[in-house]
């Protein structure tokens, strides 16, 4: 599943192309995504002008001049492809984890503009599209999420207070969107390695300095991943044909069996499966 950096790259790609453009036509080929696309969806966004594309956590939010918002979540395998009507690029994919060109199957939603179209492709159909009428409802839609790592609310007092008397391990908390939103399995492993914290350590046992490290490294690693264009785990290329580059800087994720990259550490990167998720960590320097 795309994490915060990957969704931010998608947002940037979309913003360059669809901002200040007006939706001309909407085609729904399959309403049966994670949530059923409403019968009113086409009517709600047709002929509306896009004035902004925002990202909240792992969600994309399209703002319309006439009011209302289109919420998009890419799920496990969803990708957005931009197809120019008159100059079709070799690469169409503005998303991650899939073919750089538009696949022939599983094109569920098509949003047409004057000279191009945006196509949503999703083999597993865990993504969704949702229209939200007003700002109050938009805020309500995200009230279950914790602060993003870049938010000023994600601070030392918040983290210490949240972890108080909590027996769950720290890795699980980094994946818990109610605690902090936007972090997934890749970046949770990298953040904990940079912080030299064992992923299975109980949250309540973390000291003040360890909490500081988690806050700092969450911001640092996610920002670096955005700058690098995200992590291309498979064969992703963006609409310019450029792959994300952060996977080249993985210290622990998918590095099982390799020597630890920390200076003077002789440890080996281990992999452990918990709750059907892979956790990567150094068996020596992550205490």
**Does residue 115 share a domain with residue 167?**
no
Is 2 considered catalytic here? Answer: yes
Residue at 192 is within a domain: yes
pLDDT at 144: 95
Give the number of other CB atoms < 10 A from CB of residue 233.
Answer: 16
Q: In this structure, what CATH number is given to the domain that contains residue 252? A: 1.10.8.50
Which of 97, 112, 141 is the last residue in one of the domains?
141
Number of domains in the chain: 2
pLDDT at 97: 64
**Does residue 223 share a domain with residue 109?**
no
Which of 93, 112, 141 is the last residue in one of the domains?
141
Residue at 146 is within a domain: no
The active-site residue, picked from 3, 6, 190, 228, is 3
Structural domain including 247 reads 156-282
The active-site residue, picked from 17, 58, 171, 213, is 58
List per-block mean pLDDT (blocks of 10 residues) for the chain, which spans 287 residues: 87 93 98 96 98 97 98 93 86 78 92 96 95 97 96 97 96 96 94 97 97 98 83 47 61 93 94 89 95
**Does residue 137 share a domain with residue 212?**
no
Per the CB < 8 A criterion, the answer to whether 77 and 123 are in contact is yes
pLDDT at 122: 94
Residue at 244 is within a domain: yes
The active-site residue, picked from 2, 5, 100, 199, is 2
**Does residue 192 share a domain with residue 98?**
no
Is 256 considered catalytic here? Answer: no
Distance in angstroms (rounded) separating the CA atoms of residues 192 and 170: 9
Is 277 considered catalytic here? Answer: yes
Residue at 235 is within a domain: yes
Q: Where are the alpha helices (DSSP H) in the chain?
A: 4-18, 41-45, 135-141, 156-163, 170-175, 185-195, 208-227
Residue at 111 is within a domain: yes
**Does residue 88 share a domain with residue 206?**
no
pLDDT at 250: 87
């Amino acid at each position: 599943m795309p994490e915060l950096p990957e969704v931010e790259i998608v947002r940037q790609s979309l913003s360059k192309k669809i901002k200040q453009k007006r939706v001309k036509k909407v085609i729904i080929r399959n309403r049966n995504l994670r949530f059923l696309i409403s019968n009113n969806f086409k009517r709600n966004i047709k002929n509306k002008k896009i004035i902004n594309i925002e990202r909240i956590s792992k969600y994309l939010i399209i703002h319309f001049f006439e009011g209302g918002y289109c919420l998009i979540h890419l799920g496990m395998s969803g990708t957005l492809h931009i197809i120019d009507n008159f100059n079709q690029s070799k690469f169409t994919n503005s998303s991650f984890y899939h073919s750089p060109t538009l696949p022939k199957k599983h094109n569920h939603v098509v949003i047409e503009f004057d000279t191009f179209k945006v196509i949503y492709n999703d083999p597993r159909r865990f993504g969704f599209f949702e229209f939200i009428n007003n700002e109050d409802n938009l805020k309500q839609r995200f009230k279950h999420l914790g602060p993003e790592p870049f938010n000023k609310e994600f601070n030392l007092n918040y983290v210490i207070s949240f972890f108080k008397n909590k027996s769950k391990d720290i890795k699980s908390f980094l994946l818990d969107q109610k605690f902090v939103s936007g972090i997934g399995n890749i970046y949770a492993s990298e953040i904990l390695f940079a912080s030299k914290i064992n992923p299975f350590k109980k949250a309540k046992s973390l000291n003040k300095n360890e909490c500081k490290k988690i806050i700092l490294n969450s911001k640092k690693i996610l920002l670096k991943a955005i700058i690098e264009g995200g992590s291309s785990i498979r064969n992703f290329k963006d609409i310019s044909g450029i792959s994300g580059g952060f996977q080249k800087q993985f210290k622990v994720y998918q590095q099982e069996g390799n020597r630890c990259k920390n200076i003077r550490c002789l440890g080996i990167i281990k992999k452990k499966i918990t709750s059907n998720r892979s956790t990567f960590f150094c068996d020596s320097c992550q205490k």
